[in-house]
Amino acid sequence: MMNNNQAAYDRAITVFSPDGRLYQVEYAREAVKRGTTAVGIKCQEGVVLIVDKRINSRLLEANSIEKIFRIDEHIGVASSGLVGDARALVDRARIEAQINRVTYDEPIDVETLAKKLGDHMQTYTQFGGARPYGTALLITGISDGQFRLFETDPSGTLLEYKATGIGTGRPAVMKLFEEEYTHECSIKDAITLGLKALHEATEGKFDVNTVEIGVITREEEQFRKMSREEVLSYIGQPQ
């Protein structure tokens, strides 16, 4: 429980506590930690995004839950945390991508878009009258023949990874990646490793109805979501 001094810093987004903490940003990060697990894996052939959609009711239509998004032909995003916040950032990312095409007649660079989103998220930690975004994103794509994989969180921090995870299962995912990831793997190997990480994170509680997979390959250079049939080829029918 907080004492009175801590509570005073807890109420404002823009006020640091004496030990240098922004409590509202930390709470937003907690929203991400409670979110479903998403993983991203980069290899020589491309990048894979895999998300657990966590369907809690048999009455829920599985295809109504979307946590992997195509931003432009060459860029995709996976989210964890508050779905509404993620959608707002996805809409902003799509607008930025189209503005770049109209202005410069070329697709936006992956790093440029990731920085724009990170900068936007960071502004919501500086001003009153709003709150930090309660979501984290994995942003991937190809620019100048190079595959990129970025992670951004509610503070606006932007980091590039070879393989990473966000959400409630991040500790288990990162532990597995540290032990088994290799950049020389194929797309199929990356998907298999990502599903293994998701299995560890969810204790095996996922199937074709709860998993979403997005890929971008050197052969196609376009981000796409895999069909149910393609996902089935990796994890099989639910029992």
| pLDDT, tens digit, 9 for 90 and up, residues 35-77 | 999 999 999 999 999 999 888 888 888 788 899 999 999 999 9
94 assigned to some structural domain: yes
189 assigned to some structural domain: yes
13 assigned to some structural domain: no
- 150 vs 47: CA distance, rounded Å: 11
- 152 vs 122: CA distance, rounded Å: 10
- Which has more pLDDT, 55 or 157? 157
- Quote the pLDDT of residue 37: 96
Q: Which long-range contacts (CB under 8 A, 24 or more apart) does 189-194 make?
A: 189/43, 190/41, 190/42, 190/43, 190/45, 190/46, 190/47, 190/48, 191/48, 191/50, 191/215, 191/234, 192/234, 193/41, 193/163, 194/39, 194/41, 194/48, 194/50
Query: Could you tell me the residue range of the domain that residue 115 belongs to?
Result: 36-232
Q: pLDDT class for 14, splitting at 50, 70, 90?
A: confident
**Looking at residue 192, which CATH number applies to its domain?**
3.60.20.10
> Is the pLDDT reported for residue 239 higher than 50?
no
Q: Mean pLDDT over residues 119-142, rounded?
A: 93
- Quote the pLDDT of residue 4: 54
2 assigned to some structural domain: no
176 assigned to some structural domain: yes
Q: What is the pTM of this model?
A: 0.92
Residue type, 208: V
Domain count for the chain: 1
- 65 vs 189: CA distance, rounded Å: 26
4 assigned to some structural domain: no
* Apex 136 CA angle, 55 and 97, nearest 5: 105
